Structure 1
Amino acid sequence: MGDWNLSIGTLSEGAQSRLADMLDNAKCGWRQLANVVTEEPRFRCSENEMTSCSLQVLSPTGSPSRYLLERLSERSCTLGFLLHCLKKMEHHEAVQYLTANVMERFQITVQPQAQHATEGGRVVLVCKAIGPAAMGYQWFKGKEEVSPLDITISTLRVSAILCVTTADRGMYSCRVFNLYHEVWSDQVHVKIGESGASNVFDVYPFSSYLHFLLFVKATDKVALLMGNMNYLHHRPLRAPMADVHEMTNLLRQLDFKVVSLLDLNWQEMHSAVTEFLLLLDRGVYGLLYFAGHGYENYGNSFMVPIDAPASYTSENCLWVQDVLQRMQERETSLNVFLLDMCRKRNLNDGVPPQPGQLKVTANIVFGYATCVDAEAFEVNKDDLSNGIFINFLKQRVMEDEKVTVMLDRVAEDMGRCEITRGRQALELRSNLSERRALTDRIQSSGCPETTSARNLQWAIAHVLPKSRNLQFDCGVTVQLGFAAEFSNIMIIYTRILENPKEIASCSAHLTDFTEGLDMDLKMSNQENLLDAGSLLPMEILLPAELPGLYTRLKGLQRLTKELTFTVCLQYKYTNLDEEVHERQTVTVGKPLVSKLNLHEPRLPRSYSASSSFDLHSFSHSSSFPEGFGPSFPASETSSIGSASTTWSYYSQPGVSATPSSPGKLNLPVEDDSPELFDSDAPQPLTTSKSLPHGQVEDLTYRFSNMHNFHSC
């Protein structure tokens, strides 16, 4: 039986997030739970706390239910009382889940095997278990606990590695446990010193294994995600925006520094890659994802920019193998390319370019969304959703497995999809020799200056303007807030914060933007994010008496000067019919990726004309180069935010600006069916990329201390 007297906080991270997912709804959710827990006065939430719960949806990382559960945990609310409240609410799904999570016992699915090894060799014992909550583990020789050289845990797999002598002969077993239960594996016999081998996993000299242990960490993890949709001379695509957004959120959970960009021309793609290379260094994991049009000739892959002519050749595109060679020059520990594009031959191309000499390394992984001379399809739907490749990849990318193993499983999943079978299949190419995974932890290098410089170099491209209040002569206060949807797309939110009694009605619109921005004026100043063209599928919950408007600015990489716009206030006095106008001009500098001037040509290879220095040549004794600081104004250092979906937070008066708790992105779910598509009938396929919006899965996001909160 489980111990229901334990605090809510003893639940695993995954269990708390799952409960929050179930409670993030209006009919039977966190508000109802907050009312029920008032049976115990100490659990009563104040008005400010309830408001703070509501405002969690201002951030994609926020969850009102998770915030409420944390407040209850701080007040020592027990699992038993939570279960009582859920039953009273008649939230049967949450009751069933909580009961199973606390009560269900472990089950060992893979038992360790008997081993033979020579003295000084390596013995690997593996135990695999399933269970509902966070697991602990201990290895025993007989009744004595042993401390292996290394114990690794994938999702449910526990491996103990021993460098053995004859004294290590004996019977071994594994204890798997959590706060509620424990289970023991079978005892297995390890024989040492005898010739021959029976059920031997691996036997390596200790020196080789020591070498393995020294090089399994990443000094950092960096990803460049590019999605091209709106082509000038080719069929537009649907899904790259959703795909880049999805991958950004997933990789952020894995502690990747992500640069996410949409709709790039040739120059911008080349410049973006150059800037990406500056973030790479010895020991870093580098990942490049591209969604858009593409082709492959004679083993050479090319990514097509949005300005490619109708009959494009390699000169109009970005050459993947050249990017790989440049990544190798950075001495990265892992180079991953995920290419979500077609690989048909381009008959317009003549002799393919000749790549330079690639280094002989064992750290390269290519994941192609389709096979050679084949197309990458998408379901031809009107709504915005993930493409086929990402729809399968997102279900596996968080697995703690060697990256090639993870992609193999994605390929198997795609192979079971009826609609694409025989037409699209993931292809994996790799020479990766070590067990490197996207989930590997980051272990800082011996040069903290390099790490700090890399963090700052990345942060330069993700500076958001601070939210601000504008005071107008009539006494109205207008608040501006800023959010980054992608590294080159920003959303501006305006709302009336204070309105004098003598003014009957007023509204604030944005106009007169700096030239060069990619924006549709018809979609500016909209009452919700979706009407403004935003991918973020949520509504910000603000009091009805404080309406707000959204404006979405695309193509910030083309901004050649500071962003300036006008706030136009329109209002009427109670005793006058005539509408009065006031205007204020606002300048917010160069936000997000616009600071990198991607529209400007770069010098060849790893030198960037726009960037201040090259991390690769950064020595242990180096300090920050002169001139680096001014490109990152001190006034904006507090505004560093997420590359993809970190909101600039503005609170109501009296509401504290509290960083949101990890939680789910509030997505409207139309269909809970596990099937990939919403109908058994065949769907029309095109070489564009979209799936039903209701199939986008809810995810838990963790943005590694990259919150961007501001309170006025």
Structure 2
Amino acid sequence: MGEPGRGAAGALPLRRLAQPLLRRLSELLDRAVPGRGWRDLAQRAGSRGTVRLSPSDLEQCSLKVLEPEGSPSQSLLKLLGDRGCTVAELVELLQGLEHTEALQCLSLAGIKIVVQPDSQAVLAGQVVKLCCWATGHPFVRYQWFKQEKEIPHGTSPELVLNPVNVNDSGFYICRVNSESSFVFSRWARLEVCDVQGASHEGFIGLPENKLHICIQPQLQNLTVGDALVLECGAVGNPIPHYQWFRNGFPLANGSKNIYTVTSVDVEHQGTYWCRVFNDREDQDSEKIEVIIGRKAMAVECTEEELSDLQEPADLLERSNHRPVGLLYYAGHGYENYGNSFMVPVDVPNPYRSANCLCVQNILKLMQAKETGLNVFLLDMCRKRNEYDDTILILDALKVTANIVFGYATCQGAEAFEIQQSGLANGIFMKFLKDRLLEDKKITVLLDEVAEDMGKCHLTKGKQALEIRSSLSEKRALTDPIQQTASSAESLARNLQWAKAHELPESMYLEFKCGVQIQLGFAAEFSNVMIIYTRIVKKPPEIAVCRAYVTDFALDLDVDPKEANKGTPEETGSYLVSKDLPKHCLYTRLSSLQKLREHLIFTVCLHYEYPGIEDTMDERKEVNVGKPLIAKLGLHHGFKTKNCLQTCCVANNPFHNQMESSPVASQYYIPSHCQPNSCPGVYHPNRMCAGNIRQLEACSCSGTSRILATRHEVQNDSRPVGKSNVPVETTDDTVELEFLLSNSLRFPEQQQP
């Protein structure tokens, strides 16, 4: 028999063994036959002078049988561990008892794999070598498997595939055998990329294992209903990962080398590219355009009919080239003497028309630009402001067609919003967003929204959509935008718009322990950004690791209780959740327009080693500059909130009663903030024009909801839930490896 307890593992103190292993040893000793039980182990330990055990010690162990979950063997092993017994000494004692099963539990220490096979992506025709080197006593032997099948002649530490072809793609594993036991290497994934019709000359001279994109996505010109298939292929070691983007946003289900949409619509049009990355580097593929057209309908016309249609077609083309004005507003408002007013969040109280924006004035400015279509979607109350007796005299509006007003409620009535699971949506928007992309005349679309709202029992008798229209053409919200020559003013405005939508680049943080974390960014609005984090690399010697982001600037609206969540919806983000990558932690930052300096925050990593109860931690400070609208420096005129904003994470070793002691530890004070702070909680700012009404508790579709008017003050004081902390990313590869591991079952005494 080999010596499983020798070597580095044998010197390990017995008390440092993992609890599952100690429990298994205890079970075996508790039910062992006479001569191999815990009393025999104790007697042998005392006779050999390994440890000193008194009769009272043995009596205490024996009394454990009286406890429901008591184990004499577990009590004995704890005594041995507390008194300095090592794994090697325990092995010698068990060998004296000839306790084969217990020795088998400790036999893994006899084999140590020192070189694990690497996952890699290669080109067809190359020479590939998978390596697995191990040490053991008295010697070890090898057997390679592809998935669950043995590879003939795969009995050496190196598995050579020369030349490799696409059929060699798959998962590989090596079984290392000694006299008494065997262990498996980790799974290695091999991807073989076959570039049809291309030689390998373009890859000559590249550094070995260098990440390189060998298959670029191609331009797509499709019609509605077609299938979209985009492919990107790369080689490299470590094996590359993929993330597809459209118009700068990461795509859900876009983490494979092929991205597909079974049936496209106009919403799938845009600029696509793929980011390829591994633990060492990353590359972006070429950016390609996906153009989605509508299916043409064949119509037979005579030359005379074509001639008659020529002039209206020209007129329509000129009409399409006229700009479109669209205003959507959600918030507090009121209506006096037929004029609608939008109320800013920082108005004085009481406020009047001079403090607000008049919708009719905005329409006049639109008409001055000779807009071809003007649409106003106003999700606000239309009650009278009793503090404002001003009769606003406006210049006469032009008599123009194609003006559409969609009011969320009738004149003199209130507009309501639904609050559910932290989501606040106006009733109007709740139903409008379900139909926004329908290719219908806008008045027809709004009529259908009004019908949908009429079926909602929450607002029957309280709120009804009102539509006013002078539409003389068939215009829809899905009409294509016509590009025309722009003035210097509009070009400057477009440049500002583009700057206000620039996101920080995705980045990878490497910690000293070998863990690597990806930081990604997505925009929900120009002033609302989502930070998503995931662990992309975890050394095998680390049992578990957790990471979270914290220490945000005081200007931002970040609720610590809503940060580092397992889904975007838990942070209050619902609009872009389907486009974000899965298996991440998400933190939502709002009010970026108030950011005065660069956005600086901290990434905290906690990790544990097997058998060690202490948690290790590392921290890295990250500076991503001024993202999105913060680039424009629009913070002037805003009041700064003195709120320290940190992340209250469950089981956080640095968290010490933050609810009762806002600055319980200086560890929470960011280096770029002042310590005179309090916990930051986000309170949506709703101004009140009339009397505050009692909130109405309602239910819809079996879920509890709160219905509130647009001008009720809403304080967000949601209870603290269990914080979600990240674990190693689980994706298709990990799940497949797990399934393959389960399929490799060998008898304990099987010899290679």
Quickly name the TM-score band, shorter chain normalised. 0.3 to 0.5
Bigger RCO (CA 8 Å, 6+ sep): 1
TM-score, normalising length from structure 1? 0.47
The structure that has the greater radius of gyration is 2
